[in-house]
Amino acid sequence: MTSATKTSPADQIIIFDTTLRDGEQSPGCSMNTDEKLEVAKALVDLGVDVIEAGFPIASPGDFEAVRKVAERFGEQATICGLARCRNEDIDRAADAVGPARRKRIHLFLATSAIHREFKLKMATEEILKRTAEMVSRAKERCEDIEFSPEDASRTELEFLAQVVETAIRHGATTVNIPDTVGYATPSHYFNVISYLKKNVPNIEQAVISAHCHNDLGLAVANSLSAVEAGARQVECTINGLGERAGNAALEEIVMALRTRQDYYKVGTKINTQKLCQASRLVSNVTGMIVQRNKAIVGQNAFAHESGIHQHGMLQNRETYEIMRPEDVGFVGQNLVLGKHSGRHAFRSRVAELGYTLDDETFQRVFDEFIILADKKKSVYDADIIAIIEHQDRNASDRWKLQRFHIAAGTGTIPTATVELHDDQHQVHCDAAIGDGPVDAVCKAIERIMGVSGTLDNYQVRSVSEGKDAQGEVMIELITGGRKYHGKAVSTDILEASAQAYLKALNKAAIGQPSEQREPGV
């Protein structure tokens, strides 16, 4: 089976993706509207059932992003907006998802004793009353209502059952049981779901959902325990993105259910061959690098170093491989093309790698490929993917790098001269010294733009292999109390560093927000 797992509707797990909402709450991982639309398209192509597109009342920008996702993708997936149990939140969420044919409002209200006492300052009776009122109000605006008792895993079971029963009685079609702070263990979370199934009289009228955080590294394990206990929706994010230690990783949930269908006996609609592509896109958009040994989508996920493992793999891949790389769209370092490769061969390879490019984008990518092929002896699949996925998503950026020159070396003060063009096509030049070539070029860019920042993180990794490999640079900087990221690739690490720093400063220059103000569930 090469894509979605085949099951009957009763045995199918609803995949609720919250990359655009809970995932974006990871510090420095904010996305602008165009980037959210790009990720939403990838989620639709992946086959995600529900896309939680944002928290509409958080800001005008978030409202607009949710609305545009609803307009563009509301026929193909259920588009969901988050809301606190407040009238204004509900109305704002309803307006944002309004354009979608398939839409949902997701309400949340804290229920644990610690939240009742210190956050809400509400008694249990008030919680039940607010639940009834707000679910009823949301039901007037939208047929599909999800309700989350925030911090459910630390809520007294008897009271949690009362809240869930109340939410369903007043119209909730999905009841989500959040492990908001990642406190649960698999057996604990299994018991919570099991208790609700046994003690909530109307539980069969709603889908039970699992929403797990990864503070103890148990988000995926807890989610699978919930499925085992009877949950039929799992809330997750691409790459496990999310605040603090993150959320349950969509790719791990999906492949665990598929690989161990003999045990769980359920499946999903996810086209698993697009998992790696979605992972790379989210990594590029957010600047959050996927660790090499990350399950399913990490660079080492299908690498076998041990001689014993290699021998077994040569005899039968199943000796050490429980899933095939092609089943998740994993691309290795295959040598495919050179500078004499033609346009047709290049287009065919791009298609084989899972990308559909319009003519304009294809021409840009092909031109960059020819330039790269002149610089490199060998061009690999990973190089082609890097070219495609590092296409400029910020074409409207005010500042663009035209050229730079760096003088550095032993006994020399590192000096950089930079030329930038602004959005009015005017040329700006300046120079700066630094404690190294990267520092010098970054300071020269800052002098021209009039924006400065503190470099918080600087990482370089090889995209493919060989001395002439492209290097990918990821930069995080802090300015004005906010964190911004930039990412770029080049065979010249200094050029990649300059481009990445410029991308981050362009975001800072327009004041793109970096974190949402309200964490949600």
Report the 3 state secondary structure along 173-203: CEEEEEECCCCCCHHHHHHHHHHHHHHCCCH
Residue 376 clears pLDDT 80, i.e. is over it: no
Q: Is 515 among the domain residues?
A: no
pLDDT at residue 465 in the model: 75
Q: Is 254 among the domain residues?
A: yes
Do residues 483 and 455 make contact, with C-beta atoms less than 8 angstroms apart? Answer: no
Higher pLDDT: 514 or 372? It is: 372
pLDDT at residue 311 in the model: 43
| Whether residues 342 and 324 fall in one domain | no
Q: Is 1 among the domain residues?
A: no
CATH code (residue 13): 3.20.20.70
> Over the chain, what is the mean pLDDT?
89
Pairwise CA distance, residues 147 & 84, whole Å:
10
Number of residues assigned to the chain = 521
Q: Cite the DSSP H helix spans in 109-231.
A: 113-115, 124-141, 157-169, 186-199, 219-229
| Whether residues 26 and 46 fall in one domain | yes
pLDDT at residue 195 in the model: 98
Q: Give percent above pLDDT 70 in the chain.
A: 90
Residue 102 structure tokens: 């398939």
**Listed residues 286, 317, 342: the one ending a domain:** 286
- Count of domains forming the chain: 4
Q: Write the single-letter amino acid at 198.
A: K
pLDDT at residue 396 in the model: 61
Partners of 230 in the β-ladder: none
Q: Is 299 among the domain residues?
A: no
Q: Is 69 among the domain residues?
A: yes
pLDDT at residue 321 in the model: 74
| Whether residues 457 and 372 fall in one domain | no
pLDDT at residue 315 in the model: 53
Residue 50 clears pLDDT 80, i.e. is over it: yes
Instruction: Sheet containing 482-490: give its strands across.
Output: 454-462, 471-479, 482-490
DSSP 8-class letter at 218: -
Q: Tokens 């249990």 sit at which residue?
A: 124
pLDDT at residue 426 in the model: 93
Do residues 179 and 222 make contact, with C-beta atoms less than 8 angstroms apart? Answer: yes
| Whether residues 83 and 172 fall in one domain | yes
Q: Tokens 């930079």 sit at which residue?
A: 418
| Whether residues 323 and 349 fall in one domain | no
**Listed residues 391, 417, 435: the one ending a domain:** 391
Give CA 488 to chain center in angstroms: 18
Which residues are documented as binding site for Mn(2+)? Answer: 22, 211, 213, 247
* CA-based end-to-end distance of the chain: 35
Pairwise CA distance, residues 250 & 210, whole Å:
12
Which residues are documented as binding site? Answer: 22, 211, 213, 247
Selection from 422, 495, 485 nearest residue 458 by Cα: 485
Residue 378 clears pLDDT 60, i.e. is over it: yes
Do residues 94 and 141 make contact, with C-beta atoms less than 8 angstroms apart? Answer: yes
CATH code (residue 479): 3.30.160.270
Residue 331 clears pLDDT 70, i.e. is over it: yes
| Whether residues 339 and 410 fall in one domain | no
Q: What DSSP element (H or E) covers 444?
A: helix 437-449
* Per-residue pLDDT band at 332 (split at 50, 70, 90): low
Residue 52 clears pLDDT 80, i.e. is over it: yes
Q: State residue 238 phi and psi, 5-degree precision.
A: -65, 130
Pairwise CA distance, residues 43 & 77, whole Å:
9
Q: Is 292 among the domain residues?
A: no
| Whether residues 165 and 250 fall in one domain | yes
Residue 1 clears pLDDT 60, i.e. is over it: no
| Whether residues 239 and 315 fall in one domain | no
Q: Which of 58-75 are b and which e, b meaning 16 or more Cβ less than 10 Å from the residue's Cβ? A: beeebbebbbbbbebbbe
Residue 106 clears pLDDT 80, i.e. is over it: yes
pLDDT at residue 101 in the model: 98
CA distances from 18 to 26, 167, 329, 434 (A): 12, 22, 22, 42
Residue 7 clears pLDDT 70, i.e. is over it: no
| Whether residues 342 and 227 fall in one domain | no
Residue 39 clears pLDDT 90, i.e. is over it: yes
* Per-residue pLDDT band at 40 (split at 50, 70, 90): very high
Pairwise CA distance, residues 111 & 164, whole Å:
11
Higher pLDDT: 288 or 428? It is: 428
| Whether residues 28 and 123 fall in one domain | yes
pLDDT digits (tens, 9 = 90+) for 135-188: 999 999 999 999 999 999 999 999 999 999 999 999 999 999 999 999 999 999
Higher pLDDT: 486 or 106? It is: 106
Residue 304 clears pLDDT 50, i.e. is over it: no
CA distances from 384 to 163, 354, 507 (A): 52, 12, 26
Higher pLDDT: 268 or 332? It is: 268
Higher pLDDT: 353 or 305? It is: 353
3-state secondary structure of 338: coil
Residue 351 structure tokens: 């298609």
Domain that holds residue 322: 304-330
pLDDT at residue 314 in the model: 44
Residue 360 structure tokens: 């304009």
Query: Which residues touch 231 (CB under 8 Å, ≥6 apart)?
Result: 177, 193, 208, 209, 210, 223
Pairing verdict, β 400-409 and 412-421 = antiparallel
Residue 85 structure tokens: 């149990």
| Whether residues 134 and 256 fall in one domain | yes
Q: How many CA atoms lie within 13 A of 506 on its CB side?
A: 23
Q: Is 31 among the domain residues?
A: yes
**Listed residues 370, 391, 412: the one ending a domain:** 391
Pairwise CA distance, residues 278 & 297, whole Å:
10
Pairwise CA distance, residues 183 & 189, whole Å:
9
> What sign does the dihedral 328-332-335-337 (CA atoms) show?
positive
Q: Tokens 């790098």 sit at which residue?
A: 401
Higher pLDDT: 397 or 275? It is: 275
Higher pLDDT: 374 or 200? It is: 200
| Whether residues 314 and 366 fall in one domain | no
pLDDT at residue 164 in the model: 98
Pairwise CA distance, residues 311 & 299, whole Å:
21
Pairwise CA distance, residues 300 & 231, whole Å:
32
Q: What is the mean pLDDT of residues 57-80?
A: 97
Cα dihedral value 400, 459, 519, 188, nearest 10: 150
Q: Is 208 among the domain residues?
A: yes
CA distances from 427 to 225, 398, 495, 501, 509 (A): 59, 12, 18, 19, 18
Q: What is the mean pLDDT of residues 208-217?
A: 98
Q: Which of 182-219 are b and which e, b meaning 16 or more Cβ less than 10 Å from the residue's Cβ? A: bbbebeebbebbeebeeebeebeebbbbbbbbbbbebb
Pairwise CA distance, residues 367 & 332, whole Å:
23
Selection from 82, 14, 22 nearest residue 212 by Cα: 22
Residue 260 clears pLDDT 80, i.e. is over it: yes
Residue 5 clears pLDDT 60, i.e. is over it: no
Do residues 485 and 475 make contact, with C-beta atoms less than 8 angstroms apart? Answer: yes
pLDDT at residue 467 in the model: 77
